[in-house]
Amino acid sequence: MKNSTHYLKFVAAGLIILFCKVGTAQQNTFITKDLAQKIEADKRIENYLELSRLGYSENEIFQDLGNANFLAGKYKTAAFWYQKLIDLSGSENISPNYLKRYKVSMHKAGIADYGDDVAQADWYSEIKGEYKAEKRVSPKAYAAAPVKQQNIRNFKPLNRAASMDELRELAGLKEQRSDQLKMDSRLPGKGYIPPISISSDGKTAFFSKAIYMKPEYGLFSKKEPVHKIYQAENVNGKWKNVKELSVTPKYASAMHPAVSPDGKRLFFASDMPGTFGKYDIYVAEIHQDGSVGIAKNLGEKVNTRKNEMYPNSVGGDMLFFASNGREGIGGMDLFAVQVGTRRV
């Protein structure tokens, strides 16, 4: 029973990857290379969080996302997750099959040349056999953990599809022009939808929206899009009381809001004066009355001279983010850092 339960979980991971792959194929008309890298980074975060909420360990998650992407032919992403597995456990402590698939992924993605070590195999049968042979604790043992962690025991979930559509409309995603889309990588029509963050109790949502403003300097300058973060309240199933949060100076942008699971902190990306690079990740306290405090830069342990974006808070102190300023596979890579209430 345990074996079949875990195999079903791997199938679920594969379905997550499959749906992402189909969605990406439908968007190829609109996507540039840089944008595709940003979208892929965001999907990696979403896939990790989906399995993390089911109660699986990092070791299992890295294995499953590596295998699912490998079978889907997404070798660059498979190499990313296999590398995470190697970094976590050490190459001497993982199955030789994972090292073999890691080399194949690196080779097929064009990251490294393992020509002599890459051979064709029945990968599906091999991976399926591994899952049937392994004995892991059923995720049912962890079923209560995500509920307890997120403090939503008495929370009745919203109609998510309708709720998200309403929020996207509030965020102006259906009406923004192409020059607005360039700054935060939004796409027209069926393109990429940037993250909208909802508090664990479902009462508050945060999103970013572009507005047009004349630059601070330049008498004859044209209006340019500047991104601001907004807050909305759930009132009887409807999103109301939308207001802008003053977390940045007037002419600076703020985007990609992410509320912490305890609802006490708001993480976001901004290009306000004082950044180490173009976009840095900041955090601001959310007070009991719903107001937001002064934004603080997370410092050089997180931010670089390039871009740090797409923050996502998990658990009590883990923050995932995308960066193109650190050594990685290339483009916007996924990183994680522990963020306490007073230090990083």
CB of 200 within 8 A of CB of 157? no
Claim: this prediction has a pTM higher than 0.75? no
Which of 142, 173, 205 is the last residue before a domain boundary? Answer: 142
**Which residue's structure tokens are 């006490």?**
264
If asked whether residues 183 and 265 sit together in one domain, one would say yes
Per the structure, the complete domain to which residue 68 belongs is given by 2-142
CB of 168 within 8 A of CB of 159? no
Q: What is the pLDDT along the chain (344 residues), one digit of tens a residue?
A: 444 445 445 545 554 444 444 444 444 444 455 556 666 666 777 777 666 666 677 888 888 888 888 888 888 888 888 988 888 888 888 888 898 899 898 888 888 887 766 677 788 788 877 776 665 444 433 333 333 333 323 333 334 444 556 555 665 554 444 333 343 333 333 334 456 888 888 899 999 988 888 877 766 667 888 999 999 998 988 888 999 999 999 999 999 999 999 999 999 999 999 999 999 999 999 999 889 999 999 999 999 999 999 898 887 788 999 898 887 766 778 888 888 766 66
Q: Which residues pair with 334 in a beta bridge?
A: 322
CB of 287 within 8 A of CB of 299? no
Residue 189 domain-assigned?
yes
If asked whether residues 171 and 223 sit together in one domain, one would say yes
Q: Which residues pair with 297 in a beta bridge?
A: 282
If asked whether residues 57 and 86 sit together in one domain, one would say yes
Which of 110, 142, 174 is the last residue before a domain boundary? Answer: 142
- Give SS3 for 335: strand
Tally of domains in the chain:
2
Find the radius of gyration of the CA atoms of the chain.
Answer: 21
**Residues contacting 294, CB < 8 A, separation 6+:** 284
If asked whether residues 203 and 266 sit together in one domain, one would say yes
CB of 236 within 8 A of CB of 227? no
If asked whether residues 212 and 135 sit together in one domain, one would say no
